[in-house]
Chains A and B, each alone.
Chain A
């Protein structure tokens, strides 16, 4: 057990600040933005320190209120969640920076409430990552989801209705998770994840445990929008305000994937997963269909944000495939892809947000010739697009490489073929957009209201800096991915896999 304050600061600072912000905003509205940045910086800084501590001395346990587990709640940091916590906190800090121009433009009067919810969302996501208690995870899951529903509903057009549908799905998902916790509590009488992992192995054959596993996986699959349960995602992320979709789209789904890894490989051990291999086989088949479906539906879209949403559905397929392969390479690919995909999706949704706030254009054909007006934004888009396709120096290539190795190790030839084929579809998908941006003239689209992008008018700096940082991250962390795997991720893979 550790006595250093950083584990609790990750959660406590953004949580307390989020309640402070409406009060401060009532007094001075302009203070809200610096305040959330300060809170998120503290959180990101603490998570970086913890990652360093974990790399030096292994797993850290923090007992809340000095109650010993399994009675009290503990926060546990191992290599997996220290890594994910760094990703989540840094991404929410960068998205926080980018939210300035959007908030000033569309609802400056209610900025305080927006930032309050924004911080609550970040707190919820971080809380899911750091907690070592199954029920505590449910509470954080609902904090993140409730903040997400309200944030999405701020958007225009179909946003409230999309958010309502998301809420129905999300509630069912969370309830299934809670039922899973309940069934495990019946047979073990414990809620602590490490304690459950110790108590469960003799009970693997019992029916309540199997039912709990099924409820867990289906509930989490709804939360992370795995293919047949993804229905809420495209609408919700298309209509959400740009800063919101840039926060929620990359992080909520990735945190869902993290929860799936925790359940399958921490609460249930790799030996359980091997014993009931039909579950992982099913998961990998479902994710193969998710990849195919996401790519093909993305091809059919004309609205860019909606296209990105379907790309995200396919990416979740990749992540779930790595879990379903249940071998070392596959899981390494998933954990690496959690980082890469967070950066790629945040960058894509930020680009879409920058263009929409600057010009109001959402359809692909309206983006023609946009590189003259917003060269930097479009350069970021190209870098991200190359990464999503999986072209070597970008980070997207490396995680797909590990996933491919995992698929070959598991002798899942269909999965390997789909991984390669989906890269081709992604290439078609993104080169089509790149062609429209750089090489088409607006006049080639006769039915359009003539769209001319005259003059240089870049997105505001508050939006541009996070975008450029994400693009730099996509290239540099791609080059460093060997170091990341050997330094962090290889210790995050559970023993016996």
Chain B
């Protein structure tokens, strides 16, 4: 690989920017899930984590200079795959979004249960109460 010879060339970083953004977002979410004490913040972190994966999937489906995957939108002639964005990752992500929304719903319901039981949603206070 060229990277070893030249260090990290700017081009190599910039050309793969979608992956960098997804990793960056994912790490923000991961940090919030691990580092934050407030349970709502943890849930928000979880959401960012899941969103980053959705972004990743969406970005791998796109192609430069291509259009939405409906036959009429591209220039005429026989259908060529290169002219269209790959729709499969997008469709997969519709399902993943549904999963994400339901996880969020369950998380909120759990938080309500936790709040009713302990009157707080701070993790360290709950751990102190449970001792």
Contact = CB atoms under 8 A, between A and B. Distances in A.
A185 B89 contact: yes
Contact of B33 (A160, A168, A185): A168
Contacts of A138: 96
Interface in A171-191: 171-172, 174-175, 178-179, 182, 185-186, 191
Contacts of B106: 146, 149-150, 167
Nearest to B117: A160
Contacts of A171: 46, 49-50, 103
B24 to A, nearest CB: 15
A146 B110 CA distance: 12
B89 to A, nearest CB: 7
A139 interface: yes
Contacts of A160: 110, 113-114, 117
A26 interface: no
Interface in B79-128: 88-89, 92, 95-96, 99, 102-103, 106-107, 109-111, 113-114, 117-118, 126
A316 B75 CA distance: 56
A121 interface: no
A19 interface: no
8 contacts: A135-B95, A146-B103, A150-B106, A150-B109, A160-B110, A164-B39, A179-B56, A185-B60
Interface string A136-155: 00110010001001100100
A191 to B, nearest CB: 8
Contacts of A139: 95, 99
B53 A179 contact: yes
A168 B96 contact: no
Given A146-B103, A160-B117, A153 B110 contact: yes
Interface of B: 30, 33, 39, 42, 46, 49-50, 53, 56-57, 60, 88-89, 92, 95-96, 99, 102-103, 106-107, 109-111, 113-114, 117-118, 126, 130
A146 B114 contact: no
A163 interface: yes
Given A171-B49, A171-B50, A163 B57 contact: no
A113 to B, nearest CB: 12
Given A139-B99, A167-B103, A179-B56, A161 B114 contact: yes
Given A175-B53, A179-B53, A164 B107 contact: yes
Nearest 5 pairs between A and B by C-beta? Answer: A160-B113, A142-B99, A160-B114, A164-B110, A160-B110
Interface of A: 135, 138-139, 142, 146, 149-150, 153, 158, 160-161, 163-164, 167-168, 171-172, 174-175, 178-179, 182, 185-186, 191
Contact of B60 (A149, A174, A186): A186
Contacts of B33: 168, 172
A174 B53 CA distance: 11
Contacts of B57: 182
A158 B33 CA distance: 20
Contacts of B42: 168
Contacts, number: 68
B87 to A, nearest CB: 12
Chain A contact surface mostly: helix
A148 B55 CA distance: 27
A161 B53 contact: no
B56 A175 contact: no
A158 B117 CA distance: 9
Contacts of A182: 53, 56-57, 60, 89
B77 to A, nearest CB: 24
Contacts of A150: 106, 109
A429 to B, nearest CB: 26
A149 B53 contact: no
A42 to B, nearest CB: 26
Contacts of A168: 33, 42, 46
A153 B130 CA distance: 16
A175 B54 CA distance: 10
Most B Cβ at <10 Å: residue of A153, A171, A172, A191: A171
Contacts of B95: 135, 139
A191 B56 CA distance: 16
A185 B99 CA distance: 20
Nearest to A149: B106
A482 B102 CA distance: 45
Contact of A158 (B30, B60, B130): B130
Contacts of A175: 49-50, 53
B107 A167 contact: yes
Contact of B111 (A146, A164, A185): A164
Given A161-B117, A168-B33, A182-B53, 15 more contacts: A138-B96, A146-B102, A149-B110, A150-B106, A161-B114, A164-B114, A167-B103, A168-B46, A171-B46, A171-B50, A171-B103, A172-B30, A172-B49, A175-B53, A182-B60
Contacts of A135: 92, 95
B119 to A, nearest CB: 13
A146 B103 CA distance: 7
Contact of A161 (B102, B109, B126): B126
Nearest to B86: A189
B82 to A, nearest CB: 14
A187 to B, nearest CB: 11
Most A Cβ at <10 Å: residue of B50, B92, B95: B92
Contacts of A158: 130
Nearest to A174: B99
B53 A163 contact: no
Most B Cβ at <10 Å: residue of A139, A146, A160: A160
Contacts of B46: 168, 171
A146 to B, nearest CB: 6
